[in-house]
């Protein structure tokens, strides 16, 4: 057992238990205290620090609830396995940066909720655990400050305090290397893509994985880009296809492809980066859309972090990690595009209210975001484990994949019915499931022959709802409809 010399500031506004919590957490994440090390007992630490034991207990409880430490009955507290936790050491270097990945997004703009009892949505998340009190408190503080600058136009690219907080978060969590001046904050990924096309001086030829995140695809199409769908293999986007179709820009989700869940291995990443470097004006848009919740496997840092050529444009969002109603996304530009940003888009007013930018910056800086993510990762992992266990019992399930991260997985069905038909029959029973084909770019040349595959989101569902939905699918998939039979032979 090591000794803890915690410098306490009794004059600080920060409560003592929080100072203790912060100190220990920082020492764990920085690697100064390692996994398995025993912490001093609450009684001992309280005595050493000359404070009350309940203060130490509060700090330990917080660390426990977030998984930084573990309690062994009758034995005490030990440093937990933080490789499972969201944040890794600042000093561990990029290659070993903590990875996060996940997967969801649909093309469904609105969901008629009254039509459905259960929605296996890849877009919705669980918000019952959101630290609403902290959010409210920070909002009150921001508004109470009577800060006259709240009324002035903010910086076009976003408030510097928010950009700094996000950069620091991205560096720690995703291995993204950037200076705050490379970052543009905007009201959603689609808005940032609109800006990006303007930064690049107008329409370009853009390749995208097929299937892909259709909102991004459609945005680029709306902006006049020529869109080229590209096949995927087990490592992600096919390099041969890219070389053959010769786009200027490639839009990819290397850390966790939506909807397929593919994680692009380092070899393919290097090939892609090499392709971009070969000709000037080539760029890779890395949409790191849901990198917060990963349940197994080694962490994969961002593609941007491996990019020595300044060819990666990195895009991410808080809409997934906090809530879809938070419309804050960020784009990291390579240095070479900063002049073009200033010239073409520097005159645009910011699109995220200054008030919300300040609230979000404080939410990040006070560690609320990190604590929330750590808590939610455990909750989503439990949901996923329950969902997987339920699905594995089902005889109509051929294969399950894409379940290593995020809040949805893919299920190949043993059925004569088409995916569309299963979706339609489920709809009639008040259950919304998603056919993988819904995410395919339609004008794609080759149609691959696949088993009907459903995309099932579980982030917002209770175990009860999962059971009910699965039992419904069992009926649909197992019982041949007359329509199907006549359809097959008619």
Binding mask 220-249 for a copy of itself (x = CB under 8 A): --xxx-------------------------
Q: How far is the CB of 140 from a copy of itself (least distance, A)?
A: 7
Closest to a copy of itself by CB, 15 vs 224, is 224
Nearest distance from residue 173's CB to a copy of itself, in Å?
22
For residue 170, the surrounding DSSP H or E stretch is helix 160-174
Instruction: Please tell me whether residue 265 binds a copy of itself under the rule CB under 8 A.
Output: no
Contact range with a copy of itself by CB under 8 A, out of 89-97, 216-224, 408-416, 467-475 = 216-224
User: Is residue 175 near a copy of itself by the rule CB under 8 A?
Assistant: no
Contacts of 316 (CB under 8 A, 6+ apart): 170, 174, 287, 288, 289, 291, 329, 330
Name which of 59 and 118 has its Cβ closer to a copy of itself: 118
Residue found under tokens 């370009």:
204
Smallest distance from the beta carbon of 292 to a copy of itself, in angstroms?
A: 16
- Cα end-to-end span (Å), the chain: 76
Sheet holding 397-401, edge to edge: 397-401, 408-413, 453-457, 434-435
Is 90 exposed, middle or buried (CB count within 10 Å of its CB: 0-12, 13-18, 19+)? middle
How many residues interact with a copy of itself (rule CB under 8 A)?
Answer: 57
- DSSP letter for 156, please: T
Is residue 397 close enough to count as binding a copy of itself by CB under 8 A? no
Is residue 326 at the binding interface for a copy of itself, with CB under 8 A as the rule? yes
CA distances from 370 to 34, 137, 292, 388, 406 (A): 20, 17, 10, 26, 17
Q: Does 352 contact a copy of itself by CB under 8 A?
A: yes
For a copy of itself, the binding residue among 20, 45, 82, 124 (CB under 8 A) is 124
Q: Judged by CB under 8 A, which of 40, 80, 154, 261 binds a copy of itself?
A: 154
Copy the structure tokens of residue 370. 């990190």
For CA atoms 470, 475, 479, 480, give the dihedral sign: negative
- The distance of closest approach from Cβ of residue 431 to a copy of itself in the complex, given in angstroms and rounded to an integer, is 19
Q: Is 134 in the site for a copy of itself (CB under 8 A)?
A: no
Residue 116 interacts with a copy of itself (CB under 8 A): yes or no: no
Is residue 443 close enough to count as binding a copy of itself by CB under 8 A? Answer: no
Asked if 62 and 106 touch (Cβ cutoff 8 Å), the reply is no
**C-beta of 156: minimal distance to a copy of itself in Å?**
6
**Nearest Cα to Cα of residue 477 among 469, 489, 488, 465:** 469
Tell me whether residue 148 or residue 445 sits nearer to a copy of itself (CB atom): 148
38 binds a copy of itself (CB under 8 A): no
Binding region for a copy of itself (CB under 8 A) out of 3-11, 198-206, 273-281, 367-375:
198-206
Residue 339 as a binder of a copy of itself (CB under 8 A): the answer is no
Q: Between 42-49 and 53-65, two packed helices, what is the crossing angle to 10 degrees? A: 130
Q: Does 334 bind a copy of itself (CB under 8 A)?
A: no
* C-alpha to C-alpha distance for 229 and 443, rounded to whole angstroms: 8
Q: Does 346 bind a copy of itself (CB under 8 A)?
A: yes
Minimum distance from CB of 354 to a copy of itself (Å)?
4
Q: Which of 186, 301 has the CB closer to a copy of itself? A: 186
Q: What stretch of H or E contains 329? A: strand 329-332
Using rule CB under 8 A, residue 39 touches a copy of itself: no
Q: How far apart are CA 337 and CA 323, in angstroms?
A: 30
CB of 214 to a copy of itself, least distance (A): 8
Binding segment for a copy of itself (CB under 8 A), chosen from 80-88, 153-161, 269-277, 476-484, is 153-161
What does the chain come to in residues? 490
Nearer to a copy of itself (CB atom), residue 308 or residue 442: 442
277 binds a copy of itself (CB under 8 A): no
Instruction: Tell me how far the alpha carbon of residue 21 is from its chain's centroid.
Output: 26
Rounded distance between C-alpha atoms, residue 197 and residue 204, angstroms: 8
C-beta of 213 vs 295, nearer to a copy of itself: 213
Output the DSSP codes for 346-385.
Answer: TTSPPSS-HHHHHHHHHHHHTTHHHHHHHHHHHHHHHHHH
Q: What is the closest distance, in whole angstroms, from the C-beta atom of residue 193 to a copy of itself in the complex?
A: 11
Residue number, 5 or 128, with CB nearest to a copy of itself? 128
Longest dimension (CA), the chain: 85
Alpha-helical segments (H) within 230-337: 239-245, 266-278
Q: What is the DSSP letter of 405?
A: B
Please report, as ranges, the residues that interact with a copy of itself according to CB under 8 A: 107, 109-110, 123-124, 127, 130, 132, 135-136, 139-140, 143-144, 146, 148, 150-156, 187-188, 190-191, 194, 198, 202-203, 214-215, 218-219, 222-224, 319, 323-327, 344-356
């Amino acid at each position: 057992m090591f000794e803890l010399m915690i410098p306490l500031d009794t004059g600080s506004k920060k409560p003592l238990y929080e100072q203790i919590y912060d100190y220990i957490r920082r020492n764990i994440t920085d690697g100064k205290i390692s996994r398995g090390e025993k912490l001093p007992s609450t009684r001992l630490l309280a005595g050493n620090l000359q404070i009350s034991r309940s203060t130490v207990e509060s700090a330990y409880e917080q660390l426990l609830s977030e998984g930084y430490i573990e309690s062994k009955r009758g034995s005490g507290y030990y440093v937990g396995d933080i490789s499972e936790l969201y944040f890794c050491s600042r000093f561990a270097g990029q290659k070993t940066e903590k990875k996060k990945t996940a997967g969801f997004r649909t093309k469904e703009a609105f969901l008629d909720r009254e039509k459905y009892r259960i929605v296996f949505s890849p877009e919705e998340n669980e918000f019952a655990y959101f630290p609403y009190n902290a959010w409210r408190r920070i909002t009150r503080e921001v508004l109470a400050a009577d800060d006259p600058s709240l009324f002035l136009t903010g910086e076009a690219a976003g408030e510097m305090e928010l950009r700094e907080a996000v950069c620091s978060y991205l560096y720690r969590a995703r291995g993204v290397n950037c200076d705050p001046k490379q970052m543009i904050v905007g009201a959603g990924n689609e808005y940032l893509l609109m800006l990006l096309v303007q930064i690049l001086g107008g329409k370009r030829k853009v390749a995208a994985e097929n299937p892909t995140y259709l909102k991004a695809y459609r945005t680029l199409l709306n902006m006049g880009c020529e869109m080229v769908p590209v096949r995927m293999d087990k490592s992600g986007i096919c390099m041969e296809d890219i070389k053959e179709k010769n786009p200027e820009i490639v839009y990819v989700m290397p850390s966790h492809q939506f909807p397929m869940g593919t994680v692009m291995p380092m070899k393919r990443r290097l090939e892609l980066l090499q392709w971009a470097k070969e000709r000037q004006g080539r760029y890779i848009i890395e949409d790191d859309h849901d990198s917060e919740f990963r349940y197994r496997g080694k962490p994969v840092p961002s593609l941007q972090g491996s990019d020595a050529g300044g060819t990666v444009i990195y895009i991410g969002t808080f809409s997934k990690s906090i809530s879809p109603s938070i419309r804050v996304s960020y784009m990291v530009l390579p240095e070479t595009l900063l002049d073009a940003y200033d010239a073409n888009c520097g005159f645009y007013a910011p699109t995220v209210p200054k008030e919300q930018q300040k609230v979000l910056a404080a939410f990040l800086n006070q560690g609320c975001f990190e604590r929330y993510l750590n808590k939610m990762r455990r909750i989503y992992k439990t949901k996923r484990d329950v969902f997987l266990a339920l699905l594995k019992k089902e005889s109509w399930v051929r294969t399950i994949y894409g379940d290593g991260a995020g809040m949805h997985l893919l299920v190949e069905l043993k059925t004569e019915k088409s995916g569309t038909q299963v979706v339609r029959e489920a709809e009639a029973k008040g259950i919304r499931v998603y056919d993988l084909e819904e995410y395919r770019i339609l004008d794609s040349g080759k149609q691959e022959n696949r088993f009907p595959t459903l995309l099932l989101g579980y982030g917002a569902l209770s175990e009860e709802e999962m059971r009910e939905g699965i039992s419904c699918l069992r009926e649909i998939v197992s019982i041949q409809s007359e329509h199907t039979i006549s359809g097959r032979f008619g």
